[in-house]
Amino acid sequence: MSISTKNQNKKKNFKRVFKIIAIIIAAFVAINICVTIIFTQKIPHRYASAEEGKELMLSNTEYYSNYTQNDIEFRLKKSGATMEELLEVSTNEIRDYNIIEKYFIDHEIAKMAIKLAWNGYTFPETDEIVFVKSDMSVEMGNSGYTHGTQIYLNSGFVTIYSVLSIIPGFSDFFDELLWHEYFHCLSRCNPAFRTKMYSLIHFNVADTDFALPPCVQERYLSNPDVEHHDAYATFMIDGQEVDCFTAWITTMDYAQAQLEDDSCTTVVLVPIDGSDTYYTREQATNFDDVFGTNTGYVIDPEECMADNFAYAMFYGIKGKNGKGYPNPEIIQGVIDIVKR
């Protein structure tokens, strides 16, 4: 056989292998798209344009009406800032989703729906979820937050994860984020579901919200994911049982904070009896016993349970990399609630 014939055969073999690989890749992509289209519909959602996103943001009038001056200054990083400035900056940060980002989120939601079906989990109904894309500097650079069933996602995070999601394991954080924010939508639409979830960390839900005392109000920081202060637990403070709800505050005003290097935000425990005082988490000897230690995000039972819910749904009872949890009973409780 001549050298030229051998070279021709090599070229034919190379082309044949290349075609097979191309067919396999095309089939994989086609199957992936079909599965995404089928399962993403199981969790009703859509994407807001930048224009609609601005309107949706401004429609949350009750949330913004409760902002304190402290809220506004810390969010805009400016002493004497106004609500008008905050709303202008907030709405100017709303962006359009591109087609790649929409498909990426659809794909991640399809994975969520498949996991629900595989494990036999059933969730209570929610209104349609609307995804809004925002630069989110006013919300202190958070990766995501919610209003009702509006889920706001950080534009930088969405762009990075949609591009690099082909790397195995890279999108894990984004998946956790979607489960976390989805919990907020579920708990708002279903009070009974919320009550059951909160009970896993020893919180009771009252019929009405508790009023913030003056000492808390002046330093209070709003959290769009926390719509109510109606949940309380019993904490051991100075050897006494005290029923308290939680609040997120700054330890100083914005002007003072500019002179400090350390973080000046903290969670405090506020007695439900209406007294004008609060306690730090360090004063409660059973703080970790109440919240558990699966997550450090314990500024409110809503956020604590959103994290526990995300872990239970994404990692299951075995935990990330099979390492389990400090408080597996909370995770098991979540699973028991959603199991058919």
Beta strands, E only, the chain:
45-47, 94-95, 129-134, 144-147, 150-154, 204-205, 231-237, 240-250, 265-271, 279-280
Kindly state whether residue 82 falls inside one of the protein's structural domains. Answer: yes
Kindly state whether residue 236 falls inside one of the protein's structural domains. Answer: yes
pLDDT digits (tens, 9 = 90+) for 205-259: 999 999 999 999 999 999 999 999 999 999 999 999 999 999 999 998 888 887 6
pLDDT digits (tens, 9 = 90+) for 140-157: 778 999 999 999 999 999
Domain enclosing residue 81, as ranges? 41-189
Rounded to 10 deg, the angle between the 155-164 and 172-189 helix axes is 130
Mean pLDDT, residues 159-174 = 85
Kindly state whether residue 103 falls inside one of the protein's structural domains. Answer: yes
pLDDT of residue 156: 92
Query: What is d(CA 40, CA 153) in angstroms, rounded to the nearest whole number?
Result: 18
Distance of CA 223 to the CA centre of its chain: 12
pLDDT of residue 40: 84
* Residues 214, 123 within the same domain: no
Residues 6+ apart with CB under 8 A from 340: 120, 121, 122
Kindly state whether residue 22 falls inside one of the protein's structural domains. Answer: no
Give the end of a domain, one of 149, 165, 189.
189
* Residues 201, 185 within the same domain: no
Query: What is d(CA 272, CA 216) in angstroms, rounded to the nearest whole number?
Result: 13
* Residues 139, 212 within the same domain: no
* Residues 313, 329 within the same domain: yes
* Residues 142, 266 within the same domain: no
pLDDT digits (tens, 9 = 90+) for 104-113: 999 999 999 9
Query: What is d(CA 219, CA 202) in angstroms, rounded to the nearest whole number?
Result: 26
Kindly state whether residue 314 falls inside one of the protein's structural domains. Answer: yes
Does position 299 have pLDDT exceeding 80, yes or no?
Answer: yes
* Residues 203, 333 within the same domain: yes
Mean pLDDT score across all residues of the chain: 91
Give the end of a domain, one of 168, 189, 210.
189
pLDDT digits (tens, 9 = 90+) for 120-140: 999 998 999 999 999 998 887
Cβ-contact 267, 281 below 8 angstroms: yes
Q: Which residue pairs from 60-65 have beta carbons closer than 8 angstroms and sit at least 24 positions apart in sequence?
A: 60/147, 60/148, 60/150, 60/224, 63/147, 63/222, 63/224, 63/227
Give the end of a domain, one of 153, 171, 189.
189
Structure tokens at 8: 């021709």
State the pLDDT confidence band at 262, using cuts at 50, 70 and 90. Answer: low
Does position 42 have pLDDT exceeding 90, yes or no?
Answer: no
State the pLDDT confidence band at 54, using cuts at 50, 70 and 90. Answer: very high
Q: Are strands 129-134 and 150-154 parallel, antiparallel or unpaired?
A: parallel
Kindly state whether residue 17 falls inside one of the protein's structural domains. Answer: no
Kindly state whether residue 200 falls inside one of the protein's structural domains. Answer: yes
CA distances from 110 to 105, 150, 168 (A): 8, 18, 17
* Residues 329, 250 within the same domain: yes
Mean pLDDT, residues 58-84 = 93
Q: Give how many domains the chain has, as a whole number.
A: 2
* Residues 277, 183 within the same domain: no
pLDDT digits (tens, 9 = 90+) for 31-40: 666 667 677 8
